[in-house]
Amino acid sequence: MILGMKVRKKDLNDMLKFNPKILEFHFSDSDLNLELDKDFNQKLIVHCFEYFERKLLDIVSLKETNQVHSKEKSLELIQKAIDKTISLNDHFQGEPTLIVHPGGYSLHESPKSDVDTMKGLVVDSVRKLDLKNVDFLLENMPPYAWFFGGRWNSNVFLSADDMLTYCKETGMNVCYDLCHSHLYCNKNHLSVTDELLKIEKHVQHFHLSDAGGEDGEGLQFGEGDMPFENVIPILNKHHEKSFAIEVWKGHEQGGKGFEEFLDKVTKAGLLIS
């Protein structure tokens, strides 16, 4: 697989030591003003900010609240991220990619009618974006996410079946987060291996970390219950596809956590081109 590294401007030089072929910038809303003063040999991926001015983006939002933007405002802000990604790509190679979390958040369990409505908005919302000159990837969500000090529910883009429906309707691929998928599977007594086998052909970019329970996200290799012995042989079929490591705080101390994960996952058999 093709190695990508998660970066922020301040730790960019630390991540270059891994010789990645892709740099995946983890954006905050302030990065709409990001400027770079050098060119890179890598491909650019931007992971869109989840917040803007302390409110969550949500492309299937049913209403604006004091913590969640409206669907319309979320799309407006994502379009700004698209435009910024295209602008920054002057410093990189090839076509840029933007990864977006679809949202579908609720503090409490949503009634099935609301969940169905939100699921029905995903494709329509994406079609409202101007995606010329950028490769747009929606990312699958975990069952729970932590925002503003509390645990929220994710209601859309959780299962491989939902992703497949989206891919077939839009002709687009996805970013597949194995950690998110495994947490979803743990909650619903499913197999992440089965989910991966369903969606693998439509995945362009992977996020890798270990995971445990229903909300143990971004764990170091071996600290969760991800069945890497089953997952790695599937990933190795896709040498032309890319991945980035998403270990919690893995970028700190010069990328120590990322380096540890990379060492362990390659020793476990992941082939990196």
Q: CA angle, 245 as apex, 183 and 192 as ends, to 5°?
A: 30
State whether residue 109 is helix, strand or coil: coil
Q: Could you tell me if 202 and 140 are in contact, meaning their C-beta atoms sit under 8 angstroms apart?
A: no
Q: CA angle, 198 as apex, 96 and 186 as ends, to 5°?
A: 100
Assigned fold of 2-178+197-209+239-247:
TIM Barrel (3.20.20)
State whether residue 137 is helix, strand or coil: strand
Q: Would you give per-residue pLDDT tens digits along the chain (273 residues)?
A: 999 999 999 999 999 999 999 999 999 999 999 999 999 999 999 999 999 999 999 999 999 999 999 999 999 999 999 999 999 999 999 999 999 999 999 999 999 999 999 999 999 999 999 999 999 999 999 999 999 989 999 999 999 999 999 999 999 999 999 999 999 999 999 999 999 999 999 999 999 999 999 999 999 999 999 999 999 999 999 999 999 999 999 999 999 999 999 999 999 999 998
CB atoms within 10 A of CB 188: 11
Reported pTM: 0.97
Distance between CA 51 and CA 47 in Å, rounded? 12
Angle between helix 192-199 and 178-188 (nearest 10): 130
> What is the model's pLDDT at position 149?
86
Burial label, 127 (beta-carbon count in 10 A; 0-12, 13-18, 19+): exposed
CB atoms within 10 A of CB 256: 14
Question: Domain map of the chain by residue range?
Answer: 2-178+197-209+239-247
Among residues 26, 86, 23, 33, which one has the least CA distance to residue 51? Answer: 26
> What is the model's pLDDT at position 273?
85
Cross-strand pairs, 176:
206
Distance between CA 97 and CA 103 in Å, rounded? 19
- The amino acid at residue 237 is K
Distance between CA 218 and CA 153 in Å, rounded? 17
